[in-house]
Structure 1
Amino acid sequence: MRTAIVTREGFNKLKQELDFLWRDERPAITKIVTWAASLGDRSENADYQYNKRKLREIDRRVRYLRKTLENVKVVDYSPVQEGKVFFGALVEVENEDGVKREFRVVGYDEIFGRNDYISIDSPMARALLNKAIDDEAVVLTPQGETTWYINAISYPAADLEQ
């Protein structure tokens, strides 16, 4: 498994999810499975089947989170990053049509369930890396090249430290 990178906030969220699944969710589902199994015939017991499946999903996610947290590298904010786009940056961009977008450049494991986060491995993030405000970034998309202009760069972690 390759070493993944995450922000400090991303690491904390993954750890919180693991703690919740292991300490709260899994014991609750295990109780339901035990109760449903005590009723007898498991082949036609919907409570047993559904919760047994849910327990397997929880166990799969717990295994994934444990492996991920073992191999993750946390990238903390550094004042050297100020003024340029690096990992963890919150970036506002605008295209030639005046369409604005704002997103944060984070690790792959942090993007799920978030429309305002993009992976460091995405074409947009790669085009933006090491750029400053007013620079342009050319992104290769399936529709062709798109030019985006950088309007603002900030680091949420820097706000936390102040």
Structure 2
Amino acid sequence: MKAEGNPITPAGIAALRARYDHLLGTERPQIVEIVSWAAGNGDRSENGDYLYGRKRMREIDRELTWLAKRMKAARVIDPAGQEDQTRVLFGATVEIADDDDNRRTLTLVGDDEQDATHGMIGWGAPIARALRGSRVGDLRRVQLPGGTKEWEVIAIAYPPAGTPPR
């Protein structure tokens, strides 16, 4: 399965939905209540609760719009269902080593769920683009801001079928 468009894992889309539901069902109603209460207190021009509440409501509405667009454009791909698990495709967990045998383990996920501190690299990142389609033993070069770096693919793994979202 090729990951075209805006690929995302089932766990990634679940996280986007959870954030959307939290903002819409919890945060926004609380802010609306605060703004209503503050508006009833009189002069709105110097009312910090009112001004902050309106600002926060705009931020929430902007994030809700962004989340809705991302979820609509998302193409959910279950990494366990990848047909050719000998190649690096969307959702693969890849162990790579550089020239000094420094090893890193990366999981290629959707751009909306990337988290480099946990080794989750977005599908559009330079290193992910370089690793796409590679097999164990392949050497891949990546142009980074600090210069070109070369890595060897040591291992490729996919989650087993039926694995619940992380």
Tell me, yes or no, whether TM beats 0.5. yes
The separation in 1 between residues aligned to 2:136 and 2:50, in whole angstroms, is 57
Query: What's the counterpart of residue 80 of structure 1?
Result: 83
For residues 70-129 of structure 1, the C-alpha deviation after alignment (integer angstroms, 9 at most, x for no partner) is 221111222423222111112221211232222211122112x55222221121011111
What RMSD in Å do the two structures reach over aligned CA positions? 2.0
Query: What's the counterpart of residue 92 of structure 2?
Result: 89
Query: 2:18 matched to 1:16?
Result: yes
Displacement over 6 Å in runs of 4+ = none
Q: TM-score, normalised by structure 1?
A: 0.88
CA contact (8 A) 2:82 2:89 kept: no
The separation in 1 between residues aligned to 2:109 and 2:149, in whole angstroms, is 21
Unaligned runs of 5+ in 2: none
Query: What's the counterpart of residue 30 of structure 2?
Result: 28
Q: Residue 83 of structure 2 aligns to a residue in which SS?
A: helix
The separation in 1 between residues aligned to 2:30 and 2:98, in whole angstroms, is 49
The separation in 1 between residues aligned to 2:110 and 2:16, in whole angstroms, is 12
Query: What's the counterpart of residue 144 of structure 1?
Result: 147
Question: What letter corresponds to residue 20 of structure 1 in structure 2?
Answer: H
Distance 1:137 1:95, change over 3 A: same
Aligned-pair identity in percent equals 38
Query: 2:125 matched to 1:122?
Result: yes
Q: Residue 132 of structure 1 aligns to a residue in which SS?
A: coil
The correspondence for 2:50, drawn from 48, 51, 59, is: 48
Unaligned runs of 5+ in 1: none
Shift of 1:57: 0.6
Q: TM-score, normalised by structure 2?
A: 0.86
Distance 1:135 1:159, change over 3 A: farther
Query: What's the counterpart of residue 158 of structure 2?
Result: 155
Query: What's the counterpart of residue 37 of structure 1?
Result: 39
Question: What letter corresponds to residue 128 of structure 2 in structure 1?
Answer: A
Distance 1:17 1:97, change over 3 A: same
Q: Residue 73 of structure 1 aligns to a residue in which SS?
A: strand
